Chains A and B, each alone.
Chain A
Amino acid sequence: MTLKNSFDPDVAKDRCGAYRRRILEISQQVMALHMAGAYSCTELVDAVYNGFMRRDTDGHSPDTFLISKGHGCMIQYVILEDLGVLSREDLDRYCTVDGQLGCHPDYGVPGIEASTGSLGHGLSMAVGMAYAERIRKTDGQIFAVLSDGELQEGSTWEALMMASSFGLTNLVALIDNNDFQSLGRTSETHPSFYPLAEKFESFGWEVAETDGHDSGAIYEAVSGRTGEKPFALIGTTIKGKGVSYMENVPMWHYRSPNKEEYDQAMRELGGGK
């Protein structure tokens, strides 16, 4: 088993552009997609799969990823397609009666390690997985991507408390801190939500904050963790990142672009149309 340590931020940038374009393509098949939420965590999820998770030559990994913000799973699907775990046909059948992929990830689908979609469940499951790896005496690492919105769930804070109380040094949470939830900017609707890093630290976690779209910074921050505590990366992100008319515009939580919007988005994402 070789550790992937050759993460190249420039390659990651191209890869993330391609992932966004693939999501955009799929957006033309369905009405609802959650694409803005997938765009905001594209670099975070890319860094997990293509940077942090170790993989043998057959593609098997001792490490586990789950997306606690299940509505962002389009990015997971396109990466799993890129890794050959899901097929092109699987993604073409997204949200169709013949397919196996829906708007939230479902355990049992290849590459999906936990069913999520209801917020505030993923971190507890990640804590259980990280604890199980300890009992099983493996060196498996658990990576979970959470939204900032689901940090409002009390269950998330139960899990944060237990992760550090159990001393789970094999657990990494990546927070997609895009400042948006359904009814507005979190910083305006819930000012007491901040500061975030101090809250994690006070719960016994090691924390770093970076630009959540800077692949190099993400890789450096997570790779540089001490390994003495569970680790949280708070990535400052932009909902809808990469497409000008989607960025920080709430309706793109759900909507799919029409043809004209699609062409513009493809151009902005470097698709050359």
Chain B
Amino acid sequence: MRNAFSEALYEAALEDERVCIVVADISPAGSMADFQRDHSDRFLNVGVAEQSMIGICAGMALKGLRPFAYTIATFTLYRPFEMVRDDLCYQNLPVTVVGMGAGIVYSTLGGTHHTQEDIAVAGAIPNMQILTPCDPLETREMTRFCALENNGPLYLRLGKAGEPNLTENAVEGFEFGKVRTIRKGSDVCIMAHGAIMSMALEIADELEAGGASVSVVNVHTLKPIDREGIARNLKNHAKVVVIEEHAPIGGLATHAKSIAWDEQAKCDLKVFTLADEFIHCYGSHDELRAAHGLGKDRILGELRNR
């Protein structure tokens, strides 16, 4: 995702000279070197100073530019939270706050580098919008949307580098604010977003091997949430499953339950999220997921037993 972001931003900067990036001593790899070379005045490194990174982005946006703030998710959103809230959201400025390695991607770096509650934190702020691409293709489309179309503050929740493309053959394309059906089925609907989509698709494969017809729906826009799109899927499937690499508070799982209540949904709704706890263990990304509630085998086991 990181490389797709860099490439797309480089291209967007060629198309629109208002596009800038402000980094805090962490730079995306790949094409960002080209960006730095070809648009040196629009690549700013503030050093390890995330509060001013956000404030500087606000000042640039107040003067008509379209900046991206970029560093590891916990430092781009949590450290300068009040700047995100006051400078970007209160003033409703077109700044994209890029959270790199969001969720528990940095699985060996410990709790200081995890953002398992970032959607709740960002989503609670008025005017804030949230996008979570599930693969490099979506990252590209969303980065272009942020750079060229969007007009307010937006938290772009990225994974890392090296994720596979999952949406090449998706049933629907990306549209901001709308759920995206990736695979169409009729019995079970799995709703997910972000990098854990690859696990959601594997689970869908296994359920289909067991005879079920499975939809996979990408809820890539967490704010504004597509209530209608979620309600439609709750209505059209007997069983709906949310798989989300986020705490159980304030993410897609919370939205899905709330919408299900409002809609008096009749389906069986099951949510799988990270636990509401800090993570003190280390290992691979999948091992941490498993240790905190998102093991593929556990999810499959629970789904088969219902």
Interface residues of A (CB under 8 A from B): 64, 107-108, 113-115, 117-118, 120-121, 123-136, 154-155, 158-159, 161-162, 165-166
State in angstroms the CA–CA spacing of A135 and B56 once bound together: 13
The reply to whether A135 and B42 contact each other, CB–CB distance below 8 Å, is yes
The reply to whether B83 and A127 contact each other, CB–CB distance below 8 Å, is no
Q: Which B residues lie within 8 Å of A114 (CB)? A: 58-59, 62, 91
The reply to whether B62 and A154 contact each other, CB–CB distance below 8 Å, is no
Seed contacts A125-B56, A161-B47; 9 additional CB < 8 Å A-B pairs? A125-B62, A125-B87, A128-B63, A130-B59, A132-B64, A135-B42, A154-B51, A158-B47, A166-B44
State in angstroms the CA–CA spacing of A159 and B65 once bound together: 19
The reply to whether B60 and A128 contact each other, CB–CB distance below 8 Å, is yes
- B interface residue count range (under 10 / 10 to 19 / 20 to 34 / 35 or more): 20 to 34
User: Quick check: is B52 within 8 A (CB to CB) of the other chain?
Assistant: yes
The reply to whether B62 and A118 contact each other, CB–CB distance below 8 Å, is no
Q: Which A residues lie within 8 Å of B55 (CB)? A: 121, 123-125, 127-128, 155, 159
Q: Which residue of A lies closest to B42 (CB)?
A: A135
In the complex with contacts A115-B90, A118-B86, A134-B41, A124-B63 CB distance below 8 A: no
The reply to whether B91 and A115 contact each other, CB–CB distance below 8 Å, is yes
Q: Which A residues lie within 8 Å of B61 (CB)? A: 128
B152 to chain A, nearest CB (A): 13
State in angstroms the CA–CA spacing of A126 and B59 once bound together: 6
Q: Which B residues lie within 8 Å of A159 (CB)? A: 52, 55-56
User: Quick check: is B20 within 8 A (CB to CB) of the other chain?
Assistant: yes
State the total of A-B contacts with C-beta under 8 angstroms: 101
Q: Which B residues lie within 8 Å of A133 (CB)? A: 63
Choice from A135, A136, A162 contacting B47 with Cβ under 8 Å: A162
Most buried by A among B54, B62, B65: B62
Task: Pick the 10 closest A-B CB pairs, nearest first.
Answer: A128-B59, A124-B55, A132-B63, A158-B52, A128-B56, A158-B49, A125-B59, A155-B51, A129-B59, A124-B52
Q: Which A residues lie within 8 Å of B57 (CB)? A: 128
State in angstroms the CA–CA spacing of A90 and B36 once bound together: 46
The reply to whether B59 and A131 contact each other, CB–CB distance below 8 Å, is yes
The reply to whether A158 and B51 contact each other, CB–CB distance below 8 Å, is yes
Q: Which residue of B lies closest to A159 (CB)?
A: B52
User: Quick check: is B166 within 8 A (CB to CB) of the other chain?
Assistant: no
List B40-80 residues whose CB lies under 8 Å from chain A.
41-42, 44, 46-47, 49, 51-52, 54-65, 67
Fill in one digit per residue for B6-33: 1 if any A CB lies within 8 Å of its CB, else 0: 0000000000000010000000000000
State in angstroms the CA–CA spacing of A135 and B44 once bound together: 12
State in angstroms the CA–CA spacing of A165 and B44 once bound together: 11
Interface residues of B (CB under 8 A from A): 20, 41-42, 44, 46-47, 49, 51-52, 54-65, 67, 82-83, 86-87, 90-91
In the complex with contacts A121-B55, A159-B52, A162-B49, A132-B60 CB distance below 8 A: yes
Most buried by A among B52, B64, B83, B91: B52
The reply to whether B56 and A127 contact each other, CB–CB distance below 8 Å, is yes
Q: Which residue of B lies closest to A142 (CB)?
A: B59
The reply to whether B63 and A136 contact each other, CB–CB distance below 8 Å, is yes
The reply to whether B58 and A132 contact each other, CB–CB distance below 8 Å, is no
The reply to whether B60 and A107 contact each other, CB–CB distance below 8 Å, is no
Q: Which residue of A lies closest to B86 (CB)?
A: A118
Q: Which B residues lie within 8 Å of A118 (CB)? A: 82, 86
A137 to chain B, nearest CB (A): 10
Q: Which A residues lie within 8 Å of B63 (CB)? A: 64, 128-129, 132-133, 136
State in angstroms the CA–CA spacing of A120 and B58 once bound together: 14
State in angstroms the CA–CA spacing of A97 and B234 once bound together: 43
State in angstroms the CA–CA spacing of A161 and B46 once bound together: 9
B96 to chain A, nearest CB (A): 15
A124 to chain B, nearest CB (A): 2
State in angstroms the CA–CA spacing of A130 and B83 once bound together: 18
Q: Which B residues lie within 8 Å of A129 (CB)? A: 59-60, 62-63
Choice from B52, B58, B59, B64 contacting A136 with Cβ under 8 Å: B64
The reply to whether B52 and A162 contact each other, CB–CB distance below 8 Å, is yes
Q: Which B residues lie within 8 Å of A115 (CB)? A: 86-87, 90-91
Pairs A–B under 8 Å by Cβ, sample size 7: A107-B62, A121-B55, A125-B87, A131-B56, A133-B63, A154-B51, A161-B47
The reply to whether B46 and A158 contact each other, CB–CB distance below 8 Å, is yes
State in angstroms the CA–CA spacing of A119 and B279 once bound together: 34
The reply to whether B86 and A135 contact each other, CB–CB distance below 8 Å, is no
The reply to whether A121 and B83 contact each other, CB–CB distance below 8 Å, is yes
A138 to chain B, nearest CB (A): 9
State in angstroms the CA–CA spacing of A159 and B62 once bound together: 17
State in angstroms the CA–CA spacing of A126 and B47 once bound together: 18
The reply to whether B62 and A128 contact each other, CB–CB distance below 8 Å, is yes
In the complex with contacts A115-B86, A127-B55, A135-B65, A162-B46 CB distance below 8 A: yes
Q: Which residue of B lies closest to A156 (CB)?
A: B52
The reply to whether A155 and B83 contact each other, CB–CB distance below 8 Å, is yes
The reply to whether B59 and A107 contact each other, CB–CB distance below 8 Å, is no
State in angstroms the CA–CA spacing of A118 and B81 once bound together: 12
Most buried by A among B51, B56, B62, B67: B56
Choice from A124, A134, A162, A165 contacting B58 with Cβ under 8 Å: A124
